[in-house]
Copies of this chain bind each other. A is one copy, B any other.
Amino acid sequence: MSEASPLLPMLQKLSLWVSLGLREQQALLALPHTVRSMRPHDFIVREDDRPVHCCLLLSGFVVRHKVAGNGGRQIFSIHMKGEIVDLHNSILRRADHHVQALTAIDVAFIPAQAIRDIVAAYPLIGQAMWYETLVDAAIFREWTLNVGRRDSRARMAHLLCEFALRLKVAGLGDHAHFQLPMTQEQLSDALALSVVHVNRTLKALEADGVIRRSKRELQIIDFDHLARIGDFDSRYLHLDRLAGGQVP
A residues sitting closer than 8 Å to B (CB atoms) are 48, 64, 66, 68-70, 72-74, 76, 88, 91-92, 94, 96-97, 119-120, 123, 126-127, 129-131, 133-138, 140-145, 147-151, 154, 192, 231, 235-236, 238, 240
**Are the CB atoms of A147 and B150 closer together than 8 Å?**
no
Identical copies of this chain, number = 2
Picked from B140, B142, B238, B240, the residue with its CB within 8 Å of the CB of A141 is B140
**Are the CB atoms of A138 and B96 closer together than 8 Å?**
yes
Cross-chain pairs A/B with CB under 8 angstroms, 18 sampled: A70-B231, A72-B148, A74-B144, A91-B130, A92-B131, A96-B142, A96-B238, A120-B123, A126-B126, A126-B130, A129-B130, A130-B133, A133-B134, A136-B137, A137-B140, A144-B144, A147-B192, A149-B192
B-chain residues with CB within 8 Å of residue A231 when the two chains form the complex: 68-70
B-chain residues with CB within 8 Å of residue A150 when the two chains form the complex: 68, 70, 72
B-chain residues with CB within 8 Å of residue A192 when the two chains form the complex: 147-149
B-chain residues with CB within 8 Å of residue A68 when the two chains form the complex: 145, 149-150, 231
Distance (whole angstroms) from the CB of A120 to the closest CB of chain B: 6
B-chain residues with CB within 8 Å of residue A127 when the two chains form the complex: 119-120, 126
A97 to B145, CA, bound (A): 11
**Are the CB atoms of A141 and B92 closer together than 8 Å?**
no
**Are the CB atoms of B138 and A92 closer together than 8 Å?**
yes
Residue of B nearest to A95 (CB): B235
B-chain residues with CB within 8 Å of residue A148 when the two chains form the complex: 72, 74, 147-148, 192
B-chain residues with CB within 8 Å of residue A145 when the two chains form the complex: 66, 68, 72, 74, 76
A140 to B145, CA, bound (A): 10
Distance (whole angstroms) from the CB of A169 to the closest CB of chain B: 16
**Are the CB atoms of A134 and B92 closer together than 8 Å?**
yes
Distance (whole angstroms) from the CB of A187 to the closest CB of chain B: 13
A240 to B96, CA, bound (A): 12
B-chain residues with CB within 8 Å of residue A92 when the two chains form the complex: 131, 134-135, 138, 238
Residue of B nearest to A228 (CB): B69
- Apart from A74-B148, A129-B130, 20 more pairs, CB < 8 Å: A48-B235, A66-B141, A66-B145, A68-B150, A68-B231, A70-B231, A72-B145, A73-B149, A74-B144, A76-B145, A88-B137, A91-B130, A92-B131, A92-B138, A130-B133, A137-B137, A137-B140, A143-B144, A144-B144, A144-B147
